[in-house]
Amino acid sequence: MSLPDHIVRTSLPPFEEVVTRHGATVLRVCRALLGSVDADDAWSETFLAALRAYPELPPGSNVEAWLVTIAHRKAVDIHRVRGRTPVPTENLPEPTSTTGNPGEGDDELWTAVAELPFTQRAALVYHYVGGLPYAEIGTILGNSPAAARRAAADGRTALRRRIEYGTGCRS
């Protein structure tokens, strides 16, 4: 026997609390995956989609992992669109952000992260920026925990090679 809808809905915290609690993590993940230009759009789209789906979220769900999954899908969508859309200028003026910008203070590292293949970059970001375990990362990426762990390991190896030896990352 299932509980009536009004009982299930009251067991979830208000959506505003979810945004307050997890907004910064989702923004860091979006910025690490997409860079600062597209991250705000991905963050907004993530929470719009989450707002629509939130009433159906089962109580006891890992809300942070659920939000990172949505952010991952939005980042993939934006990444695909960016790959097909010509950019009319070489240099975009970007204001410096003080909230959640992974590039502050270590541009060499974040430039190297941005050059990794998407799956390696995503596995590293979800684990080290989002704090997710590999089991959840595998689910987000549509593969196994072992594949997620392997993608992160390959990404770390490529980053070490680039940072320590000054060589490019493999694509």
**CATH architecture, domain defined by 103-170:** Orthogonal Bundle (1.10)
**Cα dihedral across residues 79, 80, 81, 87: positive or negative:** positive
Segment 86-93 shows an average pLDDT of 64
Band the pLDDT of 21: cuts 50, 70, 90: very high
Residues whose CB falls within 8 Å of the CB of residue 108, separated by 6 or more in sequence, listed in order: 163
Segments making up each domain of the chain, as ranges? 9-89, 103-170
| 50 within 8 A of 117, measured Cβ to Cβ | no
Q: Which of 3-7, 51-55, 160-164 has the lowest mean pLDDT?
A: 3-7
Judged against a pLDDT cut of 50, whether residue 1 lies above it is answered with no
| Residue 167 DSSP one-character state | P
Q: Are 121 and 113 in contact (CB under 8 A)?
A: yes
Q: Judge contact between 122 and 149, C-beta under 8 A.
A: no
The pTM (predicted TM-score) of the whole model is 0.54
The CATH number of 9-89 is: 1.10.1740.10
